[in-house]
Amino acid sequence: MKGVRAVRRVVALALLAAAVIVVPAGSATPVSAACTLCAGGEFHPVTPKRIYDTRAAELNGGVGPINDLGPFVGLGKPMTTADPTFEVDLYGIGNASYVNPWLPAGVASSDVLAVVASITVVNPFQDGNLGVYAAGSPSLNSVINFKAGKTTSNLAVLRPDGSGRLTVRLHGVGDGSAHILIDVFGWFSTSTYTAGTPGDETDERGARLVPIEPRRLVDTRPTGSLGPDSEVPLRIRGAVAADGSGLVVPDSPNVVGAVLNLTVIKPTASGYVSVVPDGVQAGVPPTTSNANTTPGLVKGTLVFAPVGADGFVHIFNKNGNTNIAVDVMGYLVKGEPEATRAGRVVPLSSPFRAFDTRQAGFGSVPLGPAQAEDWSFAAFSNSVNIDGIGVGNQSAFIGNLTNAGLTRQFPTVGVEPSFLTVYPTPASAGAPPLISNLNSLETGPVPNLALVSYGANQTIRVYNAKGYAHYIFDISAVVLKD
């Protein structure tokens, strides 16, 4: 690494970073951040479920549109420069075949603070971007940037309005349409959530998120790629780093999930890759996807992966051959004491743009090849509040990292795919960890959700591998610590 820039600072206004966690949407009762939060901010993994699909039956295996409120059912959603919108009901539109299809028995929509979901834009007619936010709370931030004809996905933490609805905004550089898919992987509970087995608080409550120093678990390039309709098991409980440097995740039955960055490396065919808790039955591929494959492309995707009873997850590739790399950013553990705060996730009321290096306020200077720079989030973390009361200490944040531009160092020498690595600022100088958060392209913006742990004094470091990179961070949630 050539060097590290001086620390840049993220300054946030408390109003913009206001958060609501401890009561269901619409409640007028304020709760102090210092009180017992019960099940608030805990994660509940679910078997991955497709809850929304705009495609007609002939395009999605005969199923037909799922939960589509319109307009243009089965025909795709319109995109224009005027940013048309449509709504999605997370809990179903009330018909007999689609009512709360993914919520466990006994869980009400008022128990759900936010959901973790993958959003996929299928075969868009134009270049553009997609934004999603609680209905009635407009936001200009985007979740996905896409190119015409290329199916693209990204993970998001979504907080619906009080009736369980989201608004999706679809911007195109010209008139066109795209199909939209949404797959749910889990949900965060409010503090009023009390469903479950009476007297068994571990059953009633969810899991805490434990952010860790990111480590690589597997890279198939030395040993061989995944073929079509094939899977590879990956140990999560008791996982050790690929470089043999030691234990990364505790070998405990209380570990119920992991936060992974899955990178699909130069697949040979269009298709998808899924991360599921159990092995895939021959001839019965998963009905949800985590990453969409484009021939020759390298792309990373964050995954909240539920762990199977055997402590493994299974990574399934549908078409062609592809290599993968998997980095672990954190894990999900049940059974933590109710009185503690560590690992609770506080979704922000709307995404907060922490920085955009293209803007004058952040220097308008791209990050150069083999360069790193530090960012201080102390002011931001101090501003996050619940009803005007600061949430206190935080260990990490979840946000959308976007490569906003990648340019060459030398005009005739290509620099893609480059990559960005985000990690806690270390106590001493050294090489960045051998992981990646996002793979950058010269052809346009690339987003990916990231879980980022803080280093000393709530600082993080961003490393750029090749070329000159501008990048953006939009924060959607913070992770508490004691």
Q: Give residue for tokens 């005739």.
A: 412
Asked if residue 198 is part of any domain, the answer here is no
Is there a single domain that holds both residue 317 and residue 403? no
Q: What is the CATH number of the domain that holds 291?
A: 2.60.120
Is there a single domain that holds both residue 80 and residue 173? yes
For 380, the 3-state DSSP assignment is helix
Per-residue pLDDT of the chain (482 residues; tens, 9 = 90+): 344 555 555 544 322 233 332 222 332 233 233 334 667 899 998 888 888 888 887 776 667 788 887 777 878 899 999 999 999 988 875 554 555 568 887 788 888 899 999 999 999 999 999 999 888 887 778 899 999 999 999 999 998 888 888 999 999 999 999 999 999 999 999 888 876 666 565 566 799 999 999 999 999 999 989 999 999 999 999 999 998 888 999 999 999 999 999 999 999 999 999 999 988 888 888 888 899 999 999 999 999 999 999 999 999 999 999 999 999 999 999 989 888 999 999 998 888 888 899 998 888 899 999 999 999 999 898 888 887 888 899 999 999 999 998 999 999 999 988 999 999 998 777 889 999 999 999 888 999 999 999 998 899 999 999 999 999 999 999 999 98
Task: Report d(CA 369, CA 144) in Å as an integer.
Answer: 25
Task: Report d(CA 354, CA 335) in Å as an integer.
Answer: 33
Task: Report d(CA 69, CA 13) in Å as an integer.
Answer: 36
Residue 168 to residues 103, 174, 250, 300: CA-CA distances in angstroms? 22, 18, 38, 23
Q: Give residue for tokens 């390039």.
A: 221
Asked whether 33 and 385 are in contact (CB, 8 A), the reply is yes
| Residue 365: closest CA among 466, 470, 459, 288 | 470
Is there a single domain that holds both residue 54 and residue 165? yes
End residue of a domain, out of 334, 365, 383: 334
Asked if residue 196 is part of any domain, the answer here is no
Q: Which residues partner with 179 through β-bridges?
A: 122
Is there a single domain that holds both residue 347 and residue 300? no
Is there a single domain that holds both residue 329 and residue 376? no
Is there a single domain that holds both residue 229 and residue 349? no
- Domain with 91 in it: 43-189
End residue of a domain, out of 189, 222, 240: 189
Asked if residue 387 is part of any domain, the answer here is yes
Is there a single domain that holds both residue 171 and residue 239? no
Confidence (pLDDT) at 202: 55
pLDDT digits (tens, 9 = 90+) for 313-366: 999 999 999 999 999 999 999 989 888 999 999 998 888 888 899 998 888 899
Is there a single domain that holds both residue 109 and residue 68? yes
Asked if residue 30 is part of any domain, the answer here is no
| Residue 403: closest CA among 314, 466, 338 | 466
Is there a single domain that holds both residue 310 and residue 355? no
Q: Which residues partner with 235 through β-bridges?
A: 312
Residue 482 to residues 306, 336, 344: CA-CA distances in angstroms? 25, 12, 10
Is there a single domain that holds both residue 354 and residue 467? yes
Give the chain's domain count: 3
For 292, the 3-state DSSP assignment is strand
Q: Report pTM.
A: 0.88
| Residue 344: closest CA among 289, 272, 285, 393 | 393
Secondary structure letter of residue 164 according to DSSP = S
Asked if residue 32 is part of any domain, the answer here is no
pLDDT digits (tens, 9 = 90+) for 212-263: 999 999 999 999 899 999 999 999 999 999 988 889 999 999 999 999 999 9
